[in-house]
Structure 1
Amino acid sequence: MVPATLVRPELVRLELVRAVARRAAVPGVSVPGFDATVEFARPAVLAALPVAAVVLGLLVLRRGGGRAATPDAGAGRRARIALLATRTVVVACLVVAAAGPTTVTTATTPGDPTVTMLVDRSASTDVYPSVADDLEAAIESEGVAVDRVRVAAGNRSRVGDGLLANLRPNGSVLVVSDGRVTGGASLARAADVAESVDATVNRVRLTPNRTDRRVAVFGPSKVSVGVENRFAVRVSGVESGESAGGGGEGANGGAAPTGATVTIEVDGSVVDSRPVPENGTVSVTRNFSSVGPHRITARLNGDDVHAANDVYRKTVQAVERPRVLYVSRGDYALEEYLRRLYDVERVAEVPEDLGDYYAVVVHDVAAPDLGSVGALQKYVIDGGGLVVVGGEHAYEKGGYGSSQIASMLPVRVGGSTGRRSQVVLAVDVSGSAKSGMRVQKSLALDVLDQLGGQNRVGLVAFNRQAYRVANLTALDGSRADLERKIRSLRSGGGTNVARGLLGASNLLGDRGGTVVLLSDGRDAAKPSFAAADRLESRDVRVVTVGVGSVNAKVLRGIAERTGGTFLPADETNRLRVEFGGPNRRYDGDHLVVVDDGHFVTRGVDPTASLPGSNEVGVKAGANLLAATGYGAPALSAWRFGLGRVVAVTAYGADGSLGGLRTRPASLLLSRSVNWAVGDPQRKATGVVSAPDTRVGRPTRLVYAGEERPSVEGISFSKVAADRYEARPVPDARGYRDVLGSSFAVNYRAEYAALGVSPALKRAVERTGGETFGTRQASAIADAVTQQTTHRRRIERRWDWALLLAGLVVYVGEVCARRLGRYRGRGAIP
């Protein structure tokens, strides 16, 4: 990988102009009667022409300005004018040659206008009318041949594989499909390949003429006996007769179900039956009183295309409450809260033997009073769970920094906000970012606003190269200057994310730091990931912020490889927690979820106000899940050895957990302990895991015991001591009993996602394709003809010709003067 180029700040704009000029962004000059455009690679050089002409005139004409009139004075003056003219021509040739004159013409090569029509006749497309036959005939009547290929049928939808197999360099395909892929390559992968070979993906807009709905049940697969749990029954699908403008193609979960009733059964007994509500979701709460598998079945009643997806089955394994050790020296309400959910034993300090517990909760205990921290560390490394709750006697206030417990925690003890960091903003100014450049700048300014003044911040802009816009300086004294430079950025040129990353890393230097990359990620993954690996080795973390039509795969991959985070454009306020100063707050003073993709925080919108917090900072590799309203870490998690550790570092004004004990914030506490507990059957024997599956897809059965189990039709293999696994592939829907456990088999994936896939729409947008109606055969024929007609830009440089012309004029003028002297005429004194 070639290192990224870094230039001085004052040269940034000129370098960007040069980059754009090489891509023909600098306006050319059309010459009448000449089928070409004249462009200059370095147009700024032309400014030297008038200056050179004035200087040359002064030098030549002043030589005879003070002489008396003689009979030869007129001849001398004419000779000087001739000399000025010839020297002016020579200088003009040199200056114009230095400006890089180029003539640009366009050569058009007609291609073979054949429509490659990819037709999907899988079960999920039964809600749409069959349009392929009529469309094929109509296109061919426009004089364009059609090559028709079936890419999916029945229960197999390998649309991505079909698209990959039919891509041609500079070619075009027309997809007649809902884009629902159930196997093989994804449409995102196919779009990557299409972009790399300059192929275009078009599609036909499909409007449903039949109704189909599907039902699904969501909720925990393992629960504790006697603990109330909530399950969601969701109905979605496509409705016939919808207009294209109103979502007529349908989207999974997007259509409002009408005219259907959902019935919910638990262990064979009906617990609810009602018309499907407008939002499509029905909630059910259940408290299972007996250990073992339980069954939740949801049924739809109503006419639609497929009956298979009108029934959904879910198994729930009820287990004994996990044993949790509660370590505390004070009387806190948390203990009572935990006892409602787990089998809790309270002690004053950590004992030597922790083998009977699924998790240990340490609540506001100082390091000298913790007890056997060595036994706790071994317990966690071997797979145990640990939740450490802060307060006035914990973390920095309890001497954790010098204790053995510090290594297990996902946070550093001491100094959460306000610490000094090195941060470089890397802003994508390539041509692909042009349409969203206003948003790009706005986001860059917003990111800058998240950073506290104690940080050292620099700025790099990149397209095919990286340009150093501002060196690392303390933000306190340079914020206004950085804001001005961000507003002055201009777009142009190609995209090379790797160059931008390496340029930002070079600006950080040997000390490492953080790069905040603002880009759409529209670049090849391989070089971008290679650059990310290099940054990781330099101790540089990358936070990627997606802007515009984002290639999330590239941006997320860069972040993951460097231990950073991928943020959507509307979530940059998460940067406040790590880089914000004490005066840089979230909106409001309540708890804020920072990572809503984690089990602990998913779907939780807390409203608790927690004014107290321990002074901690999140370690690299840990997940910051929630923060306080003033930007301090409140909830963090990571894995330590085989175990899981959660740090609760915010608390109420009185030192208790305050609003964290009431819904919805209380879910953060219970889920934290649940996440730390992990599998509540990991100490059990028998079938300890039997996940639900679909017809045609395997499930993974795990059996714990000394001997290999024997089950008719299922073969178990030994994978570890006292551990056996089997992977049966069921071929029919229903419930299956296995050695005292149970799992559900639901309808095939083909019936699980309805409506046109967003992935297909994104593939069309990424490749510059179009979406056509079923009666737009003429437009399809014209578009394919244009897409297969190749235009080449032919550039011809003329600097050599101008240099040659200048040389000829100069030599001719010298020869003429020598000849004049030889003959004694017209000599210039």
Structure 2
Amino acid sequence: MISFGNPDMLWLIVPVVIAGLYLYIRGTRTKLIITRIIIISLLIVALASPQVLMTQTISDENPNIVIISDETESMNIFREGTGDRIYESLAVNTPTTLMRLTGERTAIGDAIIQHSRGDNQIVLISDGNNNHGKSIEEALEFAEGTGTIVHYVKPELERNDISVEIRGEKTVFVDNENIFDIVVSQAGNEQIRYHLEVYHGDTLIRSGTFDQSERKKTVTRVSRTFRELGAHQIEVRVTPVGMDSNSINNRFYKSIYVIPKPQIQLITDDTSAPLSQILLNLYDVSVRKDLDNLDRRKALVIDNQHINSLSSADIQKIERYVTDGGGLFVVGGDRSFNYGDYLDSSFERILPVISEPTEYKGGRNVVIMLDISASAIVHHDGLIMETILSNAISLLRDEDLRDANVGVIAFGSEGIDVSNGFVYLGVPSNIDVLESRIKDLSAGPDTDLDEGLKIALDWIDEDIEEMDIIILSDGGIEDTYQPSLSLAQEINEKGGNFYFFHIRSSVPSQIDHRTNVYYSESLMANVDGHHQFIDFGERINIEFEELEDPPERDEEAFLDTFPLIEFNPNHFITRNTDLSANITGFNDITPKVAADRVVLTVTGKPVLTTWRYGLGRVAVLSTDNGYGNGNIWASEIYSGENARIISSTVNWAIGDPFEEEGAVLEGDDTWLGTPTTLELTMYEEGAIPELTFRGETLELSMTGRNTYETTINPDRIGVHHVSGYPIAVNYPLEYRDVGINEKMPELIRRHGGNVYTENEARGLLLQDTREMSERTVTQPVDYKMYLILAALILFLADVLIRRIREIQEMKNIKD
């Protein structure tokens, strides 16, 4: 597309044309007028500075390389001088810069962003443990966007190091049992031994000698019940038997702040049920149906109540209570949700679910076939390959496939079973694994679709009655068309439905493109499949053929066992639980659009669903209270470790567990060298209390209505107190994550870089960076001189032709 630097100059052509027409009408020499108009117009267009954006591929024989050498304190367990040696091997052959990271914090992400210029490549030498600034993944995405490739050199581990930490809640309730995990990490993969001691205050509560070969392990869980309100502390000490480089991370402190049990209200018809017993043990529970004092409660729990048991006034009170910030936990059973006439009621409006069966989406088997041939990568600067992979990942996260079984097959010079058979997408971790494997795919030289179809045929032979096969390709299947057609027809006869998405070439007139279209369309025509073109970057729009709904469950099927899975393991409710329960029944409900599905059955039915309503939080457990009026559905949820899901759900619904009276101070534990912020909330009018730290008064800044903040940065490890409120300060964060970050190689490869050992880098890195320095750039090409030359040539040609004619005419006159 042509653009102009000075487009206003083009208006000068108008008077030139008008003058030319005037002279032409007056009978002036016609040919002379035409040539002069053309010459002057060319010069005017040249003055307008015409430019055309040209895309071209350039490469550097001597690429510009930036080495980021992590030399922070945690790197003292690795072989020293790796950055210097690699710098020396590169600097003599190509422009190379060495940048060192030092100190007691590692800002790898910030360093990558700082040096990603688009015309260089970065070599990172580090353990990969980023603890300050932008995350490594954010930085790699930024670098990829600028065109900078980041490579990774794994340093050589010379000495082992052991670190310890305590995980658990800081704010706990008096007289409740609390669980704290003791986690020990090591830099290597050795068989290590250490002695461990756990203290509550000055009292030893657990000790023992442990063996460990894992990089990170939850060594033990400590149970502790605090009988006194206020500040407490737990400390763990590790004494390694053998080599340990840094002793600073062998001790860890955790501050605990004990508060009164929150007041909650329970509406139930059975206080002997497991649900009621757990709540009565953990909270200050009022069991009543009267909602007059609801504002004094931190949460309301409604257990298996029919809609008729709640008056319109009650529902209005509940809605107002939740909107203003209260917590609501609704538990199912045989008189609630779909059995309790909740559908379309004003009470249902508050809930994150609709009381009707979830639309059936299970039972579908989908095969995603990805063309990873060289043609898909090389042509059009890799845009075809990018479109294929991005669409595959988009399909994995398609809401219509959330309960489907999906298999991924790649085909290049051979067929690759990427997913290892069918994978259930109802588990988020399965989606993450498939996405990672898709991003790591590399190209093969050919487009052997038949090799991929052979794998699909094996899958449909394994008692699968129906299967949807989605092919994403540039259509270059000419060489394997006949065997591919035979396999596709066999799959089609056995219940396979085909969808071929052909990534359209930007030059549709090309012969090879027309050929590709012919074969891809012909293949789909022969198997009654769907053929559709998509452009670079476009998302596919697929409408699957409807599957028959499963038959209604009879009573025997209703009593079958349904294992539960944590659909969202990162939710507050599930992050510290290990749910391994089965249920025999549930309320068949449908989550609303904004709801968060936390726990499901393995068949995809929602069991624990949450959302925010106004300022409050609402959770729904769509199974019973563990007793269920004799028709027991969910007794396993309320026993052993599984019961933590109940307390976690109530704690999530409560949100802020502090009593809303007086002044409340909150703050997180921190690491040496890392400031921590404390928030003071005033629930009653009056003088703002002074906060003191080490005898000095802290300055408070107002951050909102009745809320204030202050920041402290203690310079000593241990437990400190701010006006009696505990803050634990542990070893610098630099020493927590020891050894190589095992996620680094995958992250680097996912964003186009290579991973090396030091010896591999010194031998291969320069050649690889040269090969990978090819990049596509779009630059404006100025056509001004071409137009001036054209005008000059036309002028000279005109003069020369007229001069030749004049000479010829003079000769004719003489003759």
Q: TM-score interval w.r.t. the shorter chain? A: 0.5 to 0.7
Shift of 1:332: 4.1
Residue type of the partner of 2:197? T
Report what 2:79 is aligned to. 129
Q: In structure 2, which of residues 213, 223, 239 is the aligned counterpart of residue 285 of structure 1?
A: 223
In 2, are the aligned partners of 1:213 and 1:304 still within 8 Å (CA)?
yes
Q: Tell me, what secondary structure is at the counterpart of 1:634? A: strand
Q: In structure 2, which of residues 623, 638, 650 is the aligned counterpart of residue 673 of structure 1?
A: 650
In 1, are the aligned partners of 2:472 and 2:503 still within 8 Å (CA)?
no
Report what 1:811 is aligned to. none
Deviations 1:692-745 (A, max 9, x none): 112233323122333222232521223344432223233332212112211111
1: CA distance between counterparts of 2:600 and 2:773? 54
Report what 2:339 is aligned to. 397
In 2, are the aligned partners of 1:151 and 1:159 still within 8 Å (CA)?
no
Shift of 1:662: 1.1
Q: In structure 1, which of residues 300, 308, 322 is the aligned counterpart of residue 248 of structure 2?
A: 308
In 1, are the aligned partners of 2:234 and 2:254 still within 8 Å (CA)?
yes
1: CA distance between counterparts of 2:702 and 2:58? 65
The answer to which of 438-447 and 289-298 deviates more is 438-447
Report what 1:550 is aligned to. none
Report what 1:118 is aligned to. 68
1: CA distance between counterparts of 2:317 and 2:423? 49
1:377 aligns with 2:297: no
Residue type of the partner of 2:666? S
Deviations 1:505-549 (A, max 9, x none): xxxxxxxxxxxxxxxxxx99xx99xx99xx9xxxx99xxxxxxxx
Q: Tell me, what secondary structure is at the counterpart of 2:138? A: helix
What's the RMSD between the two structures over aligned residues?
A: 4.3
Q: In structure 2, which of residues 611, 614, 619 is the aligned counterpart of residue 646 of structure 1?
A: 619
Report what 1:703 is aligned to. 680
Q: Tell me, what secondary structure is at the counterpart of 1:355? A: helix
The answer to which of 479-488 and 653-662 deviates more is 479-488
1: CA distance between counterparts of 2:687 and 2:417? 63
2: CA distance between counterparts of 1:133 and 1:446? 44
Q: Tell me, what secondary structure is at the counterpart of 1:626? A: strand
Residues 418 and 140 of structure 1: CA distance in aligned 2, closer, same or farther (over 3 Å)? closer
Report what 2:736 is aligned to. 752
Q: Tell me, what secondary structure is at the counterpart of 2:62? A: coil
Equivalent positions of 1:332-347 (< 5 A) are 332-333=272-273, 334-347=275-288
In 2, are the aligned partners of 1:691 and 1:700 still within 8 Å (CA)?
yes
Shift of 1:766: 3.1
1:151 aligns with 2:100: yes
Equivalent positions of 1:576-591 (< 5 A) are 589-591=562-564
Report what 2:136 is aligned to. 187
Residue type of the partner of 1:742? P
In 2, are the aligned partners of 1:417 and 1:632 still within 8 Å (CA)?
no
Report what 2:348 is aligned to. 406
Q: Tell me, what secondary structure is at the counterpart of 1:284? A: strand
Shift of 1:212: 1.5
Shift of 1:166: 3.0
The answer to which of 607-616 and 688-697 deviates more is 607-616
Report what 2:452 is aligned to. none
In 2, are the aligned partners of 1:139 and 1:780 still within 8 Å (CA)?
no
Q: Tell me, what secondary structure is at the counterpart of 2:343? A: helix
Q: Tell me, what secondary structure is at the counterpart of 2:335? A: coil
Shift of 1:180: 2.3
2: CA distance between counterparts of 1:342 and 1:163? 49
1:269 aligns with 2:203: yes
1: CA distance between counterparts of 2:675 and 2:560? 47
1:358 aligns with 2:298: yes
In 2, are the aligned partners of 1:188 and 1:759 still within 8 Å (CA)?
no
Q: In structure 1, which of residues 635, 640, 648 is the aligned counterpart of residue 608 of structure 2?
A: 635
Residue type of the partner of 2:741? S
Matched residues, percent identical?
22
Q: In structure 2, which of residues 764, 767, 780 is the aligned counterpart of residue 782 of structure 1?
A: 767
> Structure 2: which 5+ residue stretches go unaligned?
1-55, 372-383, 390-407, 411-415, 431-466, 476-490, 507-534, 779-815
Residues 267 and 439 of structure 1: CA distance in aligned 2, closer, same or farther (over 3 Å)? same
In 2, are the aligned partners of 1:350 and 1:373 still within 8 Å (CA)?
no
Q: In structure 1, which of residues 203, 212, 216 is the aligned counterpart of residue 152 of structure 2?
A: 203
Shift of 1:445: 8.9
2: CA distance between counterparts of 1:735 and 1:210? 30
Deviations 1:267-313 (A, max 9, x none): 12221222244253221110100111110111222352223222211
2: CA distance between counterparts of 1:121 and 1:379? 55
Residue type of the partner of 2:70? D
1: CA distance between counterparts of 2:585 and 2:160? 54
Q: In structure 2, which of residues 718, 723, 743 is the aligned counterpart of residue 739 of structure 1?
A: 723
In 2, are the aligned partners of 1:691 and 1:701 still within 8 Å (CA)?
yes
In 2, are the aligned partners of 1:321 and 1:341 still within 8 Å (CA)?
yes
Q: Tell me, what secondary structure is at the counterpart of 2:758? A: coil
Residues 259 and 373 of structure 1: CA distance in aligned 2, closer, same or farther (over 3 Å)? same
1:323 aligns with 2:300: no
Report what 1:730 is aligned to. 714
2: CA distance between counterparts of 1:459 and 1:596? 30
Shift of 1:196: 3.0
Report what 1:298 is aligned to. 236
2: CA distance between counterparts of 1:122 and 1:441? 39
Shift of 1:335: 1.9
1: CA distance between counterparts of 2:742 and 2:117? 23
In 1, are the aligned partners of 2:474 and 2:504 still within 8 Å (CA)?
no
Residues 309 and 327 of structure 1: CA distance in aligned 2, closer, same or farther (over 3 Å)? same
> Structure 1: which 5+ residue stretches go unaligned?
1-105, 240-254, 451-456, 466-478, 495-522, 542-575, 794-829
In 2, are the aligned partners of 1:111 and 1:789 still within 8 Å (CA)?
no
Q: In structure 1, which of residues 484, 491, 496 is the aligned counterpart of residue 496 of structure 2?
A: 484
Q: Tell me, what secondary structure is at the counterpart of 2:759? A: coil
Residues 490 and 756 of structure 1: CA distance in aligned 2, closer, same or farther (over 3 Å)? farther
The TM-score normalised by the length of structure 1 is 0.62
Residue type of the partner of 1:111? E
Residues 769 and 369 of structure 1: CA distance in aligned 2, closer, same or farther (over 3 Å)? closer
Residue type of the partner of 1:664? E
Report what 2:526 is aligned to. none
2: CA distance between counterparts of 1:418 and 1:327? 33
Shift of 1:398: 2.1
Deviations 1:211-269 (A, max 9, x none): 22211100111111111111011110214xxxxxxxxxxxxxxx456143222111122
Deviations 1:188-220 (A, max 9, x none): 233223323443322322121122221110011
Residues 113 and 611 of structure 1: CA distance in aligned 2, closer, same or farther (over 3 Å)? closer
2: CA distance between counterparts of 1:722 and 1:109? 61
Shift of 1:128: 0.5
Q: In structure 1, which of residues 622, 628, 635 is the aligned counterpart of residue 595 of structure 2?
A: 622
Report what 1:548 is aligned to. none
Shift of 1:326: 1.1
1:386 aligns with 2:366: no
Residue type of the partner of 1:726? T
Residue type of the partner of 1:414? E
Residue type of the partner of 2:615? L
Equivalent positions of 1:462-541 (< 5 A) are 484-486=496-498
The TM-score normalised by the length of structure 2 is 0.63
Residues 115 and 325 of structure 1: CA distance in aligned 2, closer, same or farther (over 3 Å)? closer
1: CA distance between counterparts of 2:114 and 2:580? 52
2: CA distance between counterparts of 1:760 and 1:493? 35
Q: Tell me, what secondary structure is at the counterpart of 1:667? A: helix
2: CA distance between counterparts of 1:441 and 1:171? 35
In 2, are the aligned partners of 1:173 and 1:200 still within 8 Å (CA)?
yes
1:415 aligns with 2:357: yes
In 1, are the aligned partners of 2:59 and 2:770 still within 8 Å (CA)?
no
